[in-house]
Structure 1
Amino acid sequence: MEQPKKKSFFNPYSANDPSMDVPVTAGAAGSIMSPYLNVDPSYFSQGGDSEFIFPEGASRQRGRFELAFSQIGGSVFAGAAVGGLNGVYTGFRETKVAELTGAVRRTQMLNFITKQGASSAQSLGVLALMYSIFGVLLSWGRGKDDEFNTLTAGTATGLLYKSSAGLHKCLRGGAAGFGIAAAYCLFTNKDKLKSTFSRN
């Protein structure tokens, strides 16, 4: 006679427990059913829409304000990573030229990594913050979120970031911001562009 499996603290249910013998499929199509509510979820999404509940009047996709936090945080982390890698390279080169060894060399390399990582993280974080502020203000002011907001926010960010360095650098910063924003718009709308060119 087979002995029933002992219930453990992390798995209080055994395979021989009759209360666990609940079918998870029903119907000829084998649609998934909830073993707890015994309700077929396909009844709630007959139009093929996403199975999410949105507050009344809320948008089905996140707006610029919601995306701003992840953009700023991601930019800070990316800046820290790039600056840290640059600090590793610079620190290795500088300590090799100075012929430092042992603990002194490790300390100097850590100084290069932390200083350059912090500097790059701060710069990219400030750029992302300015871009997000411009984008949110444009989105709220115009009442819609489109490519025009992205291009304007990118250009204004470049102009403002380099505004204290003189007119020529300010214009170059605006052109760089416009170019990055235009590249982003082209990348995110490549399917739309393909369909437009294929029709012609």
Structure 2
Amino acid sequence: MSYQSNQHDSDDGQRNRRLYNPYQDLNLPTQTLYKLPTSPEYLFQEESIAQRRSWGENLTYYTGIGYLSGAVLGGGKGAIEGVRAFEAGDTMKLRVNRVLNAGGLSGRMFGNRAGVIGLLYAGMESGMVAVRDVDDVFNSVAAGLGTGALFKAASGVRSAALAGAIGGVAVGIAVAGKQALKRYVPI
């Protein structure tokens, strides 16, 4: 025996159901009744003034984003290399193994490199903010320049200078793009 509901049964359920509002006699909105805040709350007043992440949050964020994006891009590049390495007599198991091994190898290498770059950048940017006591675009561009130079310092002066210039330009483009998005793209 199966239960079949019809429209008449659901209407009776809605009519017999009473929605209780304990404050219906007061005719006050809940916001006024409870005095709920609408702005974020901070433990200390200094926290409300700062509009940026702390150095520890910055370090974790940039390192994590760098490692994750590098691992994904490197894994994709390695998977493509693994597919290109297929040979005519390979079994499916061997082909899958080639793709996974190549993807894992490239993903680890790219992820580690990008994570170190994120770590260096976060440290330099937070250091610049602490030393200058100003949070502006110059800190970001100088941190990008320093990160590129420090990352390639072991390769020689010319490589370090070129990598520093690339890092500074890349961060400058990223900051300008972020400002353009804030200004011209409504959220």
TM-score normalised to structure 1 length: 0.72
In the other structure, the counterpart of 2:73 is 82
Select which of 33, 36, 46 maps to 1:57: 46
Equivalent position SS for 1:145 = coil
Select which of 133, 142, 153 maps to 2:143: 153
Greater fraction of residues in helix: 2
Aligned alpha-carbon RMSD (Å): 3.1
The one-letter code sitting in structure 2 at the alignment partner of 1:57 is: E
Note closer, same or farther for the CA distance 1:22–1:116 as it changes in structure 2 (3 Å cut). farther
Verify: 1:114 aligned to 2:86, yes or no: no
* Cα shift at 1:40: 5.6
Q: Which has the higher contact order (CA 8 A, sep 6+)?
A: 2
In the other structure, the counterpart of 1:104 is 94
The one-letter code sitting in structure 1 at the alignment partner of 2:120 is: M
Note closer, same or farther for the CA distance 1:118–1:53 as it changes in structure 2 (3 Å cut). same
TM-score normalised to structure 2 length: 0.77
In the other structure, the counterpart of 1:39 is 34
In the other structure, the counterpart of 2:60 is 69
* Cα shift at 1:156: 0.4
Distance 1:169 1:99 in 2: 44
1:102-131 alpha-carbon deviations (Å, 9 max, x no partner): 211211211001111111110000000000
* Cα shift at 1:192: 8.7
Note closer, same or farther for the CA distance 1:172–1:106 as it changes in structure 2 (3 Å cut). same
User: Among the aligned pairs, what percent are the same residue?
Assistant: 22
Equivalent position SS for 1:153 = helix
The one-letter code sitting in structure 2 at the alignment partner of 1:171 is: A
The one-letter code sitting in structure 2 at the alignment partner of 1:128 is: G
**Which ranges of structure 1 fall in alignment gaps of 5 or more residues?**
6-14, 46-50, 195-200
Distance 2:141 2:89 in 1: 49
Distance 1:191 1:85 in 2: 28
* Cα shift at 1:138: 0.6
In the other structure, the counterpart of 2:127 is 137
**Which ranges of structure 2 fall in alignment gaps of 5 or more residues?**
1-8
